[in-house]
Amino acid sequence: MANAGGAGGGNPPETIHTWLEKFNKQKPRSFSTLSSPDDAEHWIANMEKIFDVLGCGDIFKARLATYKFEGDALNWWKAYKYAKGGDNANEETSTEFMKRFVRLAGFLGVKAGTKAEQENKFKWALHKDLQNGVVNLKFDDIAGVANAIRNIEITEERAK
């Protein structure tokens, strides 16, 4: 009988802790930045190979793979989870999120885009509850968006 964590057969592990132990025994590579376009494809292929060999169920694959994120990849993952309302969403203030966004944009240099492009990307990276209040408004830069978001947060705090 198959269980939620495995692909069936025998008694596959059922908790993330057991899966993490088995996963780490395979010595998966960490992922932080791309030095060539093929890097991500090779890393993903390696992860899939490990998951196949372990018979890992879908419910643990993303958690195990992102456990190996470091540096820019980890920062991107945290921003993605925040934008989607993940477990980091209620812990990070809009100011902290803006600082992290600006720091990441700094790493990208010219690839981060113009101030207007960064402002737009910042709005779309926000948690849905905050995004709804600013997505259709025009700002000069990220700081303008962050100020509007902070005002929304203050208004919500006062309403409680």
Domain boundaries, the chain: 33-112, 113-159
Using the predicted structure, report yes or no on whether residue 103 has a pLDDT greater than 80. Answer: no
Using the predicted structure, report yes or no on whether residue 22 has a pLDDT greater than 50. Answer: yes
Dist. CA 134–CA 116, nearest whole Å = 14
Which residues have a Cβ under 8 Å from the Cβ of 71 and sit 6 or more positions away? Answer: 32, 33
Burial (CB < 10 A; 0-12, 13-18, 19+), residue 144, is middle
Give the per-residue pLDDT at 119: 83
The mean per-residue pLDDT over the stretch 19-37 comes to 85
Give the per-residue pLDDT at 25: 95
Using the predicted structure, report yes or no on whether residue 66 has a pLDDT greater than 60. Answer: yes
Dist. CA 160–CA 158, nearest whole Å = 5
Give the per-residue pLDDT at 77: 78
Give the per-residue pLDDT at 93: 65
Q: Which carries the bigger pLDDT value, residue 3 or residue 122? A: 122
Position 92 confidence tier, pLDDT thresholds 50, 70, 90: low
Give the per-residue pLDDT at 21: 93
The number of CA neighbours under 13 Å toward the Cβ of 68 is: 19
Q: What percent of the chain stands above pLDDT 70? A: 78
Q: Ranked by mean pLDDT, which of 28-42, 82-96, 130-144 comes out on top?
A: 130-144
pTM of structure: 0.48
Dist. CA 29–CA 37, nearest whole Å = 17
Give the per-residue pLDDT at 23: 94
Position 3 confidence tier, pLDDT thresholds 50, 70, 90: very low
The mean per-residue pLDDT over the stretch 78-104 comes to 66
Give the per-residue pLDDT at 24: 94
Which residues have a Cβ under 8 Å from the Cβ of 30 and sit 6 or more positions away? Answer: 68, 69, 70
